Amino acid sequence: SPGHEGILRRQAQRESAARTYARSLPIVPVRARGLTIEGADGRRYLDCLSGAGTLALGHNHPVVLEAVRAVLDSGAPLHVLDLATPVKDAFVTELFASLPAGLAENARIQFCGPAGTDAVEAALTLVRTATGRDGLMAFSGAYHGMTTGALAASGGARHTAVTRLPYPYDYRCPFGTGGARGAELAARWTESLLDDPKSGVPDPAGLIVEPVQGEGGVIPAPDAWLRRMREITAARSIPLIVDEVQTGVGRTGAFWAVEHSGIVPDVLVLSKAIGGSLPLAVIVYREELDTWPPGAHAGTFRGNQLAMAAGRATLAHVREAGLDRHAAALGARMLARLQALAAVHPCIGDVRGRGLMLGVELVDPEAEAGPAGDLPADPGLAAAVQRACLDRGLIVELGGRHQSVVRLLPPLTLTDEQAEAILDRLADALEGVRE
Ligand code: PMP
């Protein structure tokens, strides 16, 4: 339709050169429900981008719409900075009830500007104030956001105050071994940097980690390695900040991804799904860290009542419907089918994931393998697969250190039939690019 083409053309003319998703996904969504988006051209797509993992319940879930409508119809204010309201009270009560044991008992919450990156900044300020130290430890391939502190903590960036640590990555193991041995060597690297006075690494104010690297290419951290990180930081009184912006609210098959390993973080960074598709970001942390002064972290948009209502409804629905367990079971079935696909497509170097956070790493099968048996990333092929998926009505996102990982982040409400349809289209797209 002219609407579709005209809108895309005007976007290309008027919007920033830095725009991202719009380049690889030239669609104009006008309606959406559950897994499905409908474009202005009338085409329908299965949406496995889900607002970069935001839409735990898919688009426009009835419980979210009802919760938002109830606030709109009640005459309650839509925005009141960080003042106390019944809507906020209900959200915090629901969120606190969901927290992992060990943190639930003595948690504090700080509402942040509505993006995940702002919550990361708050976490950094919190631990710097509490410890009186400045440095930060973060991991290769990490993604924590686009503001200065969060960006510095992200893998691609370099910042003097940030010490970069190796993240266990089975397929491209920095130590050339993969498996438990690779993870153990990564843990020892961290220990040796902290313990060797000649390493030049000052005592850090905190260590920040994603339980599954999302933007970094869907790389789940081994549970044993996360427990080692908890031990190492606890023994040295270094606050452990776990960034669950993408992994939280059932995404990985547990309500919080830290539950897989059983570690208790000092600070939990939350955004995306906790706002039920509306902007919301918070940090939840151990009470003892609460030594920062009033106003240490502020921001006008910390009081979005609609997001809190949508978030409360989402958290409650995931809990009541057991969608975290559903994500674990369905994700495992999808992973098995992806493994079967990898067996017949040499261009799939690796498939991995946890729950409904899945990744397919595309490689050049003709090239020479690396020390751990890994093949060079093929971002061109990944882009072609993404395009072929879109042509078949499937929206997927790319990620990874080389943008060579096809990422699937479907809603947790996904049915078996929908999962099959997604994988059928992906399989067909892979066949298509091979021809
Ligand atoms: N942390 C993680 C783990 C993320 O995945 C993201 C966003 N993809 C962020 C932080 C930043 O969140 P936002 O884009 O809302 O600033």
What's the mean pLDDT in 286-300? 96
Q: Is there a single domain that holds both residue 313 and residue 363? A: no
What's the gap in Å between 144 CA and the centre of ligand 1? 5
Q: Is 217 in the pocket of ligand 1 (CB under 6 A)?
A: no
86-90: long-range contacts at Cβ-Cβ below 8 A with a sequence spacing of 24 or more? 87/305, 87/308, 87/309, 87/312, 88/303, 88/305, 88/308, 90/308, 90/309, 90/312
Q: Measure 107 CA to ligand 1 centroid, in angstroms.
A: 22
Do residues 126 and 193 both lie within one domain? yes
Question: Does residue 133 sit within a domain?
Answer: yes
Burial of 407 per CB tally in 10 Å (0-12, 13-18, 19+): buried
- Identify whether 10 is part of a domain: no
Whether ligand 1 lies within 6 angstroms of the CB of 243 is answered as yes
CATH of the domain at 184: 3.40.640.10
Instruction: Kindly report, residue by residue over 124-147, the tens digit of the pLDDT.
Output: 999 999 999 999 999 999 999 999
Give the H/E segment covering residue 250: none
- Does the structure show a pLDDT above 90 at 200? no
Task: Tell me if 255 CB under 6 Å of ligand 1.
Answer: no
Q: Same structural domain for residues 258 and 352? A: no
Mutate to test the pocket of ligand 1, among 218, 245, 278 (most ligand atoms within 8 A of CB): 245
Q: Are residues 287 and 368 in the same domain?
A: no
In a domain, 27, yes or no: no
Which of 119-123, 177-181, 244-248, 294-298 is least confident? 177-181
Q: Ligand 1, residues 124, 139, 144: which to mutate, most atoms within 8 A of Cβ?
A: 144
Is residue 198 scored above 90 in pLDDT? no
Q: Domain check: are 369 and 244 in the same one?
A: no
Which pLDDT score, from 0 to 100, does residue 371 have? 81
Instruction: List, for residues 88-119, the tens digit of each pLDDT value.
Output: 999 999 999 999 999 999 999 999 999 999 99
Choose the final residue of a domain: 321, 356, 373: 321
The pLDDT assigned to 244 comes to 98
Q: What is the pLDDT of residue 385?
A: 98
pLDDT score of 159 more than 80:
no
Residue 307 included in any domain? yes
Specify the ligand 1 atom closest to the Cα of 142. 3
What span, in angstroms and rounded, lies between the C-alpha atoms of 412 and 38?
Answer: 20
Instruction: Decide whether any atom of ligand 1 lies within 6 Å of the 114 Cβ.
Output: no
Band the pLDDT of 184: cuts 50, 70, 90.
very high
Residues 294 and 373 in one domain: no
Count the Cβ atoms, other than its own, within 10 Å of residue 306: 22
Instruction: Provide the number of structural domains found in the chain.
Output: 2
Rounded to the nearest angstrom, the distance between the alpha carbon of 145 and the centre of ligand 1 is 5
Tokens linked to 193: 């940097």
Cα dihedral across residues 270, 117, 137, 131: positive or negative: negative
Average pLDDT of the chain to the nearest whole number: 95
Are 229 and 125 members of one domain? Answer: yes
* pTM (two decimals): 0.97
Atom of ligand 1 nearest to the CA of 52: 8
- Please identify, among 296, 321, 346, the residue that sits at the C-terminal boundary of a domain: 321
- Structure confidence at residue 158 as a pLDDT band (50, 70, 90): low
Can you give the residue range of the structural domain that contains 347?
A: 323-394+421-435
- End-of-domain residue from the set 321, 343, 362: 321
pLDDT of residue 160: 62
How far apart CA 14 and CA 54 sit, in angstroms, is 26
Q: Give yes or no for residue 326 CB within 6 A of ligand 1.
A: no
Residue 199: predicted pLDDT: 85
Is-contact 75 293, C-beta < 8 A?
no
Measure the CA–CA gap between 217 and 141, rounded to whole angstroms. Answer: 8
Same domain, 119 and 133: yes
Work out which ligand 1 atom sits closest to the CA atom of 269. Answer: 1
Structure confidence at residue 201 (pLDDT): 84
- Look at residue 434 in the predicted model and tell me its pLDDT: 79
Is pLDDT at 1 greater than 60 in this prediction?
no
- Verify whether ligand 1 is closer than 6 Å to residue 246 (CB atom): yes
Average pLDDT over residues 167-195: 93
Whether the CB of 149 sits within 6 Å of ligand 1: no
* 279 plus 375 within the same structural domain: no
334-393 pLDDT tens trace: 999 999 999 999 999 999 999 999 999 999 999 999 888 899 999 999 999 999 999 999
Whether 216 lines ligand 1, by a CB cut-off of 6 Å, is no
Q: Is the CB of 248 under 6 A from ligand 1?
A: no
pLDDT beyond 70 at 156 = no
Mean pLDDT of 282-289: 98
